Amino acid sequence: MLTPLLALLLLVLAWGRVLAPPVMLVVGAALIGAVLVAVHHAEVVAHRVGEPFGSLILAVAVTVIEVGLILSLMAAGGPESATLARDTVFAAVMITCNGIIGLCLLVGTLHHHVVPFHAGGSGGALATVTTLATLSLVLPAFTTSTPGPTFSAAQLAFAAIVSIVLYGLYVFVQTLRHRDYFLPVRVEGSDRTEVHLPPPSTRTALVSLVLLIVSLVTVVGLAKTASPAIESGVTAIGAPLSAVGVAIALLVLLPETLAAVRAARLNRLQTSFNLALGSALASIGLTIPAIAVASIWFDGPLLLGLGGTETVLLALTAVVGTLTVTGGRATVLQSAVHLLVFAAFLFIAVTP
């Protein structure tokens, strides 16, 4: 309980200040501690409310605060931050659909050889991710109403409405209409001992929910505090500024990554998919409407359209993901393909 409060105190003391390298190391340690605590409290809440609500709570909580981080950095960054929302959302899609899924497939298949999941639920989630990513990140590069990879005001409003509608429909299907498609597949002989533990009390779950929110606020706040050091590091290695969005997405998605990998090790790959694809959906479905509203107060263009290289990587991700989820079972080969696509994304981000 003390870790998120101490990290929050450190965030208050360090906010808006230029930090010396030793203090930055302390910030990094506090950031890691807040991530680990966030995962723990997310699992407590998830055990209380059950799947798939638990995965949804973590995905939405992380993404809401991620959106706040993007907007605050855009407000303070000036013209140089015109691509920050695009870079961060695209990075979140690539990290979740290739990095997290690939890592979970690797962990699951190393322990259980062949891992099952619901093709219906995962396939529907992937289709929604692909649709939202294409409409929000690819289409702006081809529209002609405004110059450059941008949307007009009407087009941005349409993309925001579509994002909200599709994400809301996904949540309805996941939690109510077809909830069974998103529950872990029962496998005889698998390590599922945590399911048989009694759920925590309502009071314990509420305390964990509050501490989860505090931890996530601290994670994002400390990530923003460390952003000058991240930008300096990116500049020092000669990488483009778009790599800053990748670094931010990696930090913010760390709690979901750890929770998803733990579920995969317990042969609950559907929970891992819920976390990964749900995070990708929340990232697009909440970020695009938020920046559509915030763009009223921002000066300069909002660059959303991806370049040719990123569009190719997104198309490859859609094809590979479709082939992975179609069968409802996966082996180590699928994990290798996803991880190599993720490695290609990271390599291109640093050396475009």
- Asked whether the predicted pLDDT for residue 220 surpasses 80, the reply is no
Supply 303's token pair: 């660059």
Geometric angle at alpha carbon 333, from 332 and 339, rounded to 5°: 90
Supply 128's token pair: 């929604």
- Segments in the chain forming alpha helices (H): 2-14, 21-49, 53-77, 84-94, 101-112, 119-133, 153-172, 202-236, 242-252, 254-265, 269-294, 308-326, 332-350
Range of the domain at 312: 2-350
| Dihedral of the alpha carbons of 315, 317, 320, 323, in degrees to the nearest 10 | -80
Q: Which of 220, 207, 174 is nearest to 62 (CA)?
A: 220
Q: Which of 88, 127, 142, 140 is nearest to 317 (CA)?
A: 127
Q: Distance (Å, rounded) from C-alpha 65 to C-alpha 63?
A: 5
| Dihedral of the alpha carbons of 343, 184, 132, 259, in degrees to the nearest 10 | -50
pLDDT (tens digit per residue) in 166-197: 988 988 888 888 888 888 777 655 544 444 45
pLDDT (tens digit per residue) in 143-153: 999 888 989 98
Residue 330 backbone dihedrals phi, psi, to 5 degrees: -140, 155
End-to-end CA distance of the chain: 43
Geometric angle at alpha carbon 274, from 346 and 115, rounded to 5°: 85
Chain-centre distance for alpha carbon 87: 13
CATH number, position 268: 1.20.1420.30
Q: What burial class does residue 233 get, using C-beta atoms within 10 Å of its C-beta: 0-12 exposed, 13-18 middle, 19+ buried?
A: middle
- Percent of the chain past pLDDT 90, that is, above it, reads 29
Domain total of the chain: 1
Q: In this structure, which amino acid lies at residue 310? A: E
**Mean pLDDT estimate for the chain:** 83
Q: In this structure, which amino acid lies at residue 306? A: L
Supply 135's token pair: 């409409």
Q: In this structure, which amino acid lies at residue 5? A: L
Q: Residue-wise over 74-89: b if at least 16 C-beta within 10 A, else e?
A: beeeeeebbbbbbbbb
Mean pLDDT for 15-28 is 77
Geometric angle at alpha carbon 334, from 329 and 335, rounded to 5°: 110
Q: Which of 52, 93, 98 is nearest to 324 (CA)?
A: 98
Identify the bridge partners of residue 116 per DSSP, sorted by sequence position.
329
> Peptide bond before 52: cis, by omega within 30 degrees of 0?
yes
pLDDT (tens digit per residue) in 24-56: 788 878 877 877 787 678 778 877 877 667 667
pLDDT at residue 159, rounded to an integer:
92
Identify the bridge partners of residue 180 per DSSP, sorted by sequence position.
none
- Asked whether the predicted pLDDT for residue 123 surpasses 80, the reply is yes
Q: What is the band of 340 on the pLDDT scale with cuts at 50, 70, 90?
A: very high
Q: Distance (Å, rounded) from C-alpha 31 to C-alpha 65?
A: 15
Distances (CA, A) of 266 to 29, 184, 218: 28, 10, 29
